[in-house]
Structure 1
Amino acid sequence: LFWLCRVEIITEHGQDGTYATVFKGRSKLTENLVALKEIRLEHEEGAPCTAIREVSLLKNLKHANIVTLHDIIHTERSLTLVFEYLDSDLKQYLDNCGNLMCMNNVKIFMFQLLRGLSYCHKRKILHRDLKPQNLLINDKGELKLADFGLARAKSVPTKTYSNEVVTLWYRPPEVLLGTTEYSTPIDMWGVGCILFEMATGRPMFPGSTVKEELHLVFRLIGTPTEDSWPGISNNDEFRSYMFSQYRPQPLINHVPRLDSEGIDMLTALLLYDTRTRVSAEASLRHPYFLSLGENIHTSRYILNTVQHILRP
């Protein structure tokens, strides 16, 4: 079915006895490049739950800003997911432009991220692991959400099925403090962190432990109070850390390249109270995107715009 070009990611041993490898290939039928995510099953336990979850979700997600799952090949020893191939991801894009993105590209990538996420959230699907490495970008400037392996999980694990440590940098404070009541706002915090990273070239909260991550958040956004986060004083984990009382800092001082509308949206994405944290759908209508024009909500217009301005 496919000509294999080369291994893109080395084989890694997973904690559930599986191996995950990603190949770059070309379809013999269509000549199109594809990404082949092969999960080798070492035990007679069937496919790992994370892989099955990813398959079941992606089969039903058809959107310009979500990576397309073309096919599934299931054998006794492996499960291979055949995805459309995209050349790069947002992390690589940031690296290639010296961590100094054109601010118009920041806005266009942000819009595409929110559009794909809004599509998911309308279908009650959460991503749960948004980060630059999971936002794929092709040579046309299309940005697509990928790696739904953690979506709809009962809890947010510390490792993926390929044994990769899940970063804390984009994880919302309510999850860091042990909530199990997940809803769409948990993804929106990560969107805010990604907006900051695109605009500054550096991660917003690069913590290596839960306590350090929370400390970085509180030091910038302010230590939460009953006003900013109703019920926080009753959270046992929060009380056990005994954090210092930090006042919120003006975000403009840390993201000087972001305009006033962008700062307003970033602020709305990083609210502690999940009931007031802005949604993906509402974000798409935010004044931050007005400069892109009224036609920005059509797929073809986005592509034409990106093709003409997609330079680091």
Structure 2
Amino acid sequence: MDEEGIPPTALCEISLLNLLSHSIYVVRLLAVEQAAKNGKPVLYLVFEFLNTDLKKYLDVYRRGPNPRPLPPHQVKNFLFQLCKGVAHCHGHGVLHRDLKPQNLLVDKEKGILKIADLGLGRAFTVPMKSYTHEIVTLWYRAPEVLLGATHYSTGVDMWSVGCIFAEMVRRQALFPGDSELQQLLHIFRLLGTPTEEQWPGVSGLRDWHEFPQWKPQSLARAVPTLEPEGIDLLSKMLQLDPANRISAIAAIDHPYFNSLDKF
């Protein structure tokens, strides 16, 4: 806290968390406490405790003493919960904008996954406001953000969900770029370089260049162990044109989840 009280960013996060906390798929804010530290007022946000996050959970499978794939039912269960949580955020007019395995907390005993760290989340309004460009962690960053789009919507989160889905199946990141350009090249190599026909307006985005012309590759080859319904859902999440990306609410009803006991 500063001389003027609680910073607006903290107030924003607290109000968002209060709004979203009644979903079991979003980490619960239990209390907000004011205390003094070195004579200065500080604010503590008290959350429910979960014992790990999805990155650490996956690390056990990929780096443990006996590396093994995540069971398909577990992938399906976690993805369903993630889609439910994202649908809840979007239904309340909130974009997360930084979905990644480190921001998804896991209760190992109960097999529950919850969205955390809404620090970059922000309420979105229609018409879309112009947002800052520097957000989502690179590997999960949507192509429209990488290309400098200033107006974007719920599709940025759904792209991240698709990347997380593929990573749970493969046990390694689908697009592990180390710069914005590298990230785009990874994406275009697999999904094909977009054209104006496929993605109207793409060449007018701020950071568009003449990229190498790649043809789309088979998504099934990138995630060979994923069942056909899973490939179909992943392909709908990883549409280059955000207007064509599946919404969280539609994803929940996808046939891929038909075998789950939904709760």
| TM more than 0.5 | yes
1:223-302 → structure 2 map (5 Å cutoff)? 223-239=193-209, 242-292=210-260, 295-296=261-262, 298=263
**Does the alignment pair 1:118 with 2:87?**
yes
Match of 1:216 in 2: 186
Alignment match, 1:206 = 176
Q: Is the 8 A contact 2:149 2:206 kept in 1?
A: no
Aligned pairs for 1:100-139 (under 5 A) are 100-138=69-107, 139=109
Matches within 5 A, 1:1-312: 41=1, 43-44=2-3, 46-61=5-20, 62-75=22-35, 76-98=40-62, 100-138=69-107, 139-152=109-122, 154-157=131-134, 167-239=137-209, 242-292=210-260, 295-296=261-262, 298=263
1:37-80 superposed Cα distances (whole Å, 9 cap, x missing partner)? xxxx4x53544444332211001111011100000013443111
TM-score (norm 1): 0.75
What letter corresponds to residue 284 of structure 1 in structure 2?
I
- Match of 1:197, as an amino acid? E
Root-mean-square deviation (CA), in Å? 1.6
User: What are the superposed Cα offsets for residues 230-252 of structure 1, whole Å, 9 maximum, x if unpaired?
Assistant: 1112234212xx21001110010
Aligned equivalents of 2:140, 2:104: Cα separation in 1 = 13
8 A contact 1:65–1:143 mirrored in 2: yes
How far apart, in 2, do the equivalents of 1:272 and 1:93 lie?
29
CA distance in 1, matches of 2:173, 2:8: 30
Identity %: 49
Asked whether the 8 Å contact 1:265–1:288 carries over to 2, the reply is yes
| 8 A contact 1:128–1:156 mirrored in 2 | no
Secondary structure (helix, strand or coil) at the match of 2:55 reads helix
Partners in 2 of 1:278 and 1:119 — Cα distance? 15
Distance apart, 1:91 and its partner CA: 0.4
Aligned length: 245
Structure number with the higher strand fraction is: 1
Kindly state the Cα deviation for residue 219 of structure 1 after the two structures are TM-superposed: 0.8
Query: Relative to total residues, which structure has the larger helix share, 1 or 2?
Result: 2
Aligned pair in 2 of structure 1 residues 215, 47: CA closer, same or farther (>3 Å)?
farther
Q: TM-score, normalised by structure 2?
A: 0.88
5+ residue gaps, structure 1, are 1-40, 159-165, 299-312
